[in-house]
Every structure is written in structure tokens, then in C-alpha cells.
Amino acid sequence: MQGQGTEARMQQTHRGDRDHARPDADGALVRRPIDPQRLLAAVASPEAGANVLFLGTARGFTDGVETTGLEYEAHDSMATEALERLCTAAVDRFSLLACAVEHRLGRIAIGEAAVGIAASAPHRRAAFEAAEWLMERIKREVPIWKCEEWADGRRAWVHAEPAPRDGGAGHERGDGPVDPGARRSRGRRRRR
Amino acid sequence: MQHASPSAAGRLRLALFAGLAELAGTRSLEIPWDGGSVGDLRRAIVDARPAVAGLLDRSAVAIGGRYADDDVPVPAGADVAILPPVSGG
């Protein structure tokens, strides 16, 4: 239910390497800095009364331990498909006008954004809730991995600790019909 | 596809990611394979790279970009990825 104007703008900001069945729902992996203006432009609509932009940035200190940088990698095709699927699901679930997500891969300096989410809606509640919902889902189920690098020179890939056989945090499918075929049978996944 | 190199007969090539690749010492692991299920594949991976056992148990298997349960057959030449618990965002 986006206006003609939104579609026209999406064509302009389209990166040209994929066809978008849903011009109002755009999820992508990028290997350059997150561009907040591009994200906001992608969701702009004359019907919007709320445009929420969320940036997840690399935090320099966690519980007093200094992180010097992050590195992300992904299963490119599965992650891209998952991001697009989640954007489409968010538009439907929260009746958004449009939604756009970028997740960055490669090395990221402290303070830089690793993920950007933009959501537009007629009123603010839907846009805020959609951004929060998307962030939760991205962290839980998109095949992207983070490597943390610490001030003492150590580095380690982050793989959430197991809830053995019953929903390790990594591959939960959550509550929506986003990808029912993706559920694993070994270990019932928790629902939140 | 990200992982497209064909496997030789009787072999299967697997794409590994993040900490799993680090433990295995490679992002593209080739193992002997004469057919079997995803569960069989998990055991074959541990035989080839015992160090991955713990993390592998918490990892998902995808065939052709689709998550596959342990009872799903893995055909020769399949595009197989092993996905450890995710940590994006």
C-alpha cells in the first residue's frame, strides 16, 4: 500500500543487481558503510507520519572489556533472502508503508554501524515496533556471524551458548510464518 | 551460489562459516561421501574434523540454501552449508 512516489524513489535508489518483487521491502547485505540517508529515502512516502531509523553500532566497551573492532561474514545468498523475507514480513505484520534494511559485512570500526533499519508508517507506534521486531529477528535467524576483536589482541567468533537440543539461540524461527520450511526438527525451537 | 564447486564422485564439499571454519581450519571441507542423511553427514564431519564436534552439534545444515533436518537425504554433489549459531546485528 505504498504510494506511487515511494515506488519511483525506490527505483532511483535501487542498486540494480536484483529484482525486487516488493519495492516497499528491501533487505540487503553491503560491504560499504551503512548509508542512513539511502535507507530513509528508500522508505519515504507522502503517506508517512513516522520514519524510524535504527543503527546498530559497534560498541567499544562491553562490561568493562574493550573491543577494538568487529568483523562480520554471512552466507550471502541465504542471508540476503532472509533479510528480504523479514522486510516483507515486517511490512505485512505492522502495516508499514515501507521498510529497508542493510547489514554490513567485513571489518567495522568502533562507532560505525553494522546494521541499519528504516521503517515508515502513518503513525509512530508501528514504525518503532517494526524496527524492534526486525532487529530481534535479524539477530536470531539471519545467517550472519560476528567476530569480536579485543584490546589484548584476542579475537573470537560469537556463537551464542547452547540451550542444548532445545533452541540454541542461533536458529530459532520465532513466531511468524516467515519461513515455516526452515524449522529444524532436532530440538524444538523456543517460541517467543 | 556462494558454494558451487562440484564435488568429486564419492566426495562431498561443504561450506563452513565463522567459528566452524576456524575450528576445521578451512572454509571448504571435502569429505568422503557415499550418500546418507544429514545425520550421517554430521557424523562424517566429526570423523573428518573432530575439533568441530561441539559447535557442529549446535549448527544447522542447509542444502541448496534450505535448512535441512537430520533425516533429510544428502545427494551427491549437493550444495551443502554448515551454519553455526548466528550473531548478526
- What is the rounded average pLDDT of the residues A182-186? 37
**Identity of residue A41:** A
pLDDT recorded at residue A89 = 97
What is the complex's ipTM, to 2 decimals? 0.90
The pLDDT value given to residue A22: 72
| Contact check, Cβ <8 Å, A143/B83 | yes
**Is B32 inside a domain boundary?**
yes
Give the integer Cα–Cα distance in Å for B62 and B79. 8
Q: What is the mean pLDDT of residues A165-176?
A: 40
Secondary structure of chain A in the HEC alphabet? Answer: CCCHHHHHHHHHHCCCCCCCCCCCEEEEEECCCCCHHHHHHHHCCCCCCEEEEEEEECCCEECCEEEEEEEEEECHHHHHHHHHHHHHHHHHHHCCCEEEEEEECEEEECCCEEEEEEEEECCHHHHHHHHHHHHHHHHHHCCEEEEEEECCCCEEECCCCCCCCCCCHHHCCCCCCCCHHHCCCCCCCCCC
User: Which one is predicted more confidently, A143 or A167?
Assistant: A143
Domain assignment present for B51 = yes
Inform me whether the C-beta atom of residue B66 falls under 8 Å from chain A C-beta atoms: yes
Cα B42 to the center of its chain, rounded Å: 7
Q: Which three cell numbers stand for residue B48?
A: 573428518
Q: A183 pLDDT exceeds 70? A: no
What class, spelled out in words, does domain A19-158 have in CATH? alpha beta
pLDDT on residue A166: 39
CA dihedral sign of residues A120, A131, B18, A72: positive
pLDDT averaged over chain A? 81
Residue B64 resides in a domain: yes
A183 with B67: Cβ contact below 8 A: yes
Taking the model in full, what pTM does it have?
0.81
Q: Using the beta-carbon criterion (under 8 Å), do B86 and A141 form an inter-chain contact? A: yes
And the C-alpha cell for A64? 568493562
Evaluate if residue A187 carries a pLDDT over 60.
no
A170 versus A160: the higher-pLDDT residue is: A160
pLDDT of residue A173: 40
Domain total for chain B?
Answer: 1
Q: How far is CA A118 from CA A41, A167, A189, B74, in A?
A: 9, 29, 28, 39
Q: Is residue B60 part of a domain?
A: yes
Sheet holding A50-57, edge to edge: A25-30, A98-104, A113-121, A50-57
Of A76, A168, A181, the CB nearest to B58: A168
Give a yes or no: residue B2 inside a domain: no
Q: Which residues of A touch B18 (CB under 8 A)?
A: 73, 145, 147, 157, 159
CA distance A75 to chain B (A): 7
pLDDT at residue A160 in the model: 82
User: Mean pLDDT over residues A81-96, rounded?
Assistant: 97
Residue B50: give its domain's CATH number. Answer: 3.10.20.30
The reply to whether residue A159 touches residue B84, judged by beta carbons under 8 angstroms, is: yes
The pLDDT score that the predictor gives to residue A186 is 37
The ranges assigned to domains in chain A are 19-158, 159-192
Of A103, A158, A171, the CB nearest to B60: A171
> For A91-134, how does the pLDDT look when each residue is reduced to its tens digit (9 = 90+)?
999 999 999 999 999 999 999 999 999 999 999 999 999 999 99
Cβ of B62 within 8 Å of Cβ of A74? The answer is no
Q: What is the pLDDT of residues A39-75, one digit of tens each?
A: 999 999 999 999 999 999 999 998 999 999 999 999 9
| Predicted pLDDT at A182 | 37
Cα of A5 to nearest chain B Cα, Å: 30
User: Does A19 have pLDDT greater than 80?
Assistant: no
Compare CB distances from A159 to B58, B66, B81 and report the shortest one's residue: B58
Indicate whether B88 belongs to any domain: no
**pLDDT at res. A161:** 65
Q: What DSSP assignment string belongs to B53-88?
A: HHHHHT-EEEETTEE--TTSB--TT--EEEEPPP--
Contact call for residues A98 and A115 (beta carbons, < 8 A): no
Spatial CB neighbours of B51, under 8 Å, sequence gap ≥ 6? B23, B24
Residues A144-168: tens digit of each pLDDT: 999 999 999 999 999 986 543 333 3
Give every residue of chain B whose pLDDT is below 50, as ranges: 1-4
Which domain does B17 fall in, by range?
A: 11-83
pLDDT of residue A162: 53
For A48, the grid coordinates are: 508517512
Minimal Cβ distance to A185: which of B19, B22, B70: B70
- Interchain proximity B70–A77, CB inside 8 Å: no
Between chain A and chain B, the number of residue pairs with CB atoms below 8 A apart is: 105
Q: What is the pLDDT of residue A118?
A: 98
Q: Which residues between 131 and 160 in chain A have a beta carbon less than 8 angstroms from any beta carbon of chain B? A: 135, 138-147, 156-160
